Structure 1
Amino acid sequence: MARPIWTGVLTFGLVTLPVGLYTATEDHTVHFHQLQRGTSDRIRNKRVNERTGKEVGGDRIVKGYEIDEGEYVVVEPEELEEISPGRSKVIDLAGFVDLCEVEPVYFDRTYYVGPRGKEYVKVYELMRAALDRADKAGIATLTMRGKEYLTALRAQPRVLVLHTLHWADEVRDPASVVPDLPERRTSSDSKELRTAEQLIDALTIEWNPDEYHDTYEERVLKLVAAKRKGEEVVGEAEPPEATNVIDLMEALSRSVEQSRSRGRKGGDGKGAAGKARTGAGKTRAAAKKEPAGKKKSAGRKGAAGRKESEDLASLSKAELQKRASAAGVAGRSKMTRDQLVKALAGQAA
């Protein structure tokens, strides 16, 4: 088992839970050493005085803040330690926000949060389940390794996860860094926009991270293996040319038809969501054709709808998402938990 990189307590109102943080991700990047060409000699980085050219030991190096060209204020390591955030061991949840309100650009690193002891599992699971059902994230600050972080605590099906967030002044204004941003929004009734939306709908899939992997890493390893055997290395194809604005509508329409054709070759031309939508459509059509004498009373329908809504309210958001996917609920990925319940209950009614 991995050891926690930080231990402390998580406070939730008057509830205090001892927890530990565990790194949630790992780096699989292929790493290379630097060598002098024609040899197997490693190239090492050294700290060198740029004026004398001599190497300087770490114990003789201090930090300097440049206030003018060539003019520095020297700061000793001990002085930085004295003013660094205290060794706080508390994650104090200051409040809760809807997850959809936190833009992805603010997320930095992710950690798993685990209980420190079996005696705290019940409290831990209670907090996880409550966050999951509320579909909210707890906002708190955390001091770790001499640095203060803004964090968001949220629930996954089995574990609490904590994301470190960028501070607001660390996130750039896109207009200040991205040239040629559009000055106006696309008209909502434009034919191109409607066709683009059709393409998105046709290409909508279920999120399964196991289906994706780092193909560049694989190509690097193949390159190394080929060079080791003295084999020829074949490069990748050039990227396609940019779409001309004049040909945009044609490209969108052909893309929609192409995606639908691929679906038909793979089966009936519809994914799970498409099948669910087709099934729902058939059910509604059959209901319209059903003789009046065989229709259920409005009272029984209302009671069934309320019962369905109550059953849905007991499910977690992950379970609701699965049902919404099977039922073909449009826009389900952006819905809150309550919106999912209403959408599914409406279909059941």
Structure 2
Amino acid sequence: MSARAIWKGHLSIGDLGCAVALYSAVNASERTAFHIINRDTGNRVRREYADADTGRPVGKDDLVKGYDTSEGQTVILEPDEIREAVPESDKRLELATFVACDEIDTLYLERPYFLAPADRQSVEAYDLIRETMEAQNVAAIARTVLFRRVRSVLIRPQGEGLIATTLNYDYEVRDPAESFEGISKVKIETEMLDLAQHIIGTKMGEFDPGQYEDRYESALTELVKAKIAGRKPKKLPKRKAENVTSLLDALRKSAGNDAAKQKPKGKTQSSGATRQKKAG
């Protein structure tokens, strides 16, 4: 089944532009989904809003949004007032600012989308924009209304297409100092640093998302299958706790384990035995 566009608009750089469509790059529907069930009847339950003070149910038409002020008052916002306050979308992604790809702070990346030509007539201009950005190794920042909110979007080339990633606003990203302020500077011994660098070097590889398993999702799937089959679910192996007396001992042990894994088993001995046999 072909992907379904969730937004359509116009991508442009100055007078150069093309029609584009936005597609979700993440599919959360593949995850195991559950319903809330009444254990006594086996029936699904539904959620209802109730007045916090009276306990009486509140109908959908009587629901409005409220904002609590610092003085303890609640400001009521009617649906029409909120709709009028939200900027109207002009369906345009104007590439006004370009930044080097290696200057992008990943803290601000929110959610990725695929940005593709919306029709055949837009392919040529789309490819020109993508190839120019790729040649200069740059990404573009644009602003538009998505999902009833003005959002900043980072657009960058990837493969034969463009990736559009919504960005967190500066006020939404917490100051790292709030979490790192308790970290004190310590002097690392040379041997410890060398061992740590060696361990990292033995584990270097390429990023392959396919090799990382969602163990939580796998465990839920196994649990559901076991319940259907009327058997006990398979238990995942637990990691054994290791007694380590110091950080340096842990590094030495880890480096030794990595060396043992990489050392060819039996090749040197077998080749020597063969030479002795031929000599005899």
Please state if 1:13 is matched with 2:6: no
2:195 maps to a residue whose letter is T
The structure 1 segments of at least 4 consecutive aligned residues displaced by more than 6 Å after TM superposition are: none
Question: Offset of 1:216 from its aligned partner?
Answer: 2.2
Residue matched to 1:152: 154
Name the CA shift for 1:37/1:110 in 2 (closer, same or farther; >3 Å): same
Name the CA shift for 1:179/1:41 in 2 (closer, same or farther; >3 Å): farther
Please state if 1:82 is matched with 2:84: yes
> Secondary structure at 1:48's aligned position in 2?
coil
Higher relative contact order (CA 8 A, sep 6+): 2
1:189-208 matches, within 5 Å, as: 190-208=190-208
Name the CA shift for 1:179/1:155 in 2 (closer, same or farther; >3 Å): closer
* TM-score calculated relative to the size of structure 2: 0.84
Question: Offset of 1:25 from its aligned partner?
Answer: 1.3
2:197 maps to a residue whose letter is E
> Secondary structure at 2:75's aligned position in 1?
strand
> Secondary structure at 2:48's aligned position in 1?
coil
Paired positions, count: 264
Please state if 1:262 is matched with 2:264: no
Residue matched to 2:63: 61
Give the distance between the partners of 2:154 and 2:243, measured in 1 at CA. 40
Question: Offset of 1:184 from its aligned partner?
Answer: 2.2
Please state if 1:143 is matched with 2:142: no
Identity across aligned pairs (percent)?
30
Query: Given that residues 107 and 164 in structure 1 are in contact (C-alpha distance below 8 angstroms), is that contact kept between their aligned partners in structure 2?
Result: yes
1:314-329 matches, within 5 Å, as: none
Residue matched to 2:228: 228
Residue matched to 1:183: 184
Structure 1: which 5+ residue stretches go unaligned?
A: 269-349
Name the CA shift for 1:160/1:221 in 2 (closer, same or farther; >3 Å): same
Name the CA shift for 1:21/1:64 in 2 (closer, same or farther; >3 Å): same
Greater shift in the superposed pair: 19-28 or 189-198: 189-198
> Secondary structure at 1:138's aligned position in 2?
strand
Q: Deviations over 1:238-286 (max 9, x none)?
A: 5555886x522232233234334333459x9xxxxxxxxxxxxxxxxxx
Query: Given that residues 84 and 146 in structure 1 are in contact (C-alpha distance below 8 angstroms), is that contact kept between their aligned partners in structure 2?
Result: yes
Q: Deviations over 1:136-168 (max 9, x none)?
A: 211111211210111110011111010001011
Query: Given that residues 132 and 155 in structure 1 are in contact (C-alpha distance below 8 angstroms), is that contact kept between their aligned partners in structure 2?
Result: yes
Give the distance between the partners of 2:18 and 2:264, measured in 1 at CA. 54
The one of 16, 39, 45 equivalent to 2:41 is 39
Give the distance between the partners of 1:99 and 1:242, measured in 2 at CA. 42
Q: Select the structure that is richer in strand.
A: 2
Residue matched to 2:95: 93
Q: Give the superposed CA RMSD.
A: 2.6
Q: Deviations over 1:267-320 (max 9, x none)?
A: x9xxxxxxxxxxxxxxxxxxxxxxxxxxxxxxxxxxxxxxxxxxxxxxxxxxxx
1:194-343 matches, within 5 Å, as: 194-233=194-233, 235-238=235-238, 241=241, 247-265=246-264
* TM-score calculated relative to the size of structure 1: 0.68
Query: Given that residues 9 and 93 in structure 2 are in contact (C-alpha distance below 8 angstroms), is that contact kept between their aligned partners in structure 1?
Result: yes
Give the distance between the partners of 1:234 and 1:211, measured in 2 at CA. 21
Query: Given that residues 98 and 138 in structure 2 are in contact (C-alpha distance below 8 angstroms), is that contact kept between their aligned partners in structure 1?
Result: yes
Q: Select the structure that is richer in helix.
A: 1
> Secondary structure at 1:126's aligned position in 2?
helix
Please state if 1:26 is matched with 2:31: no
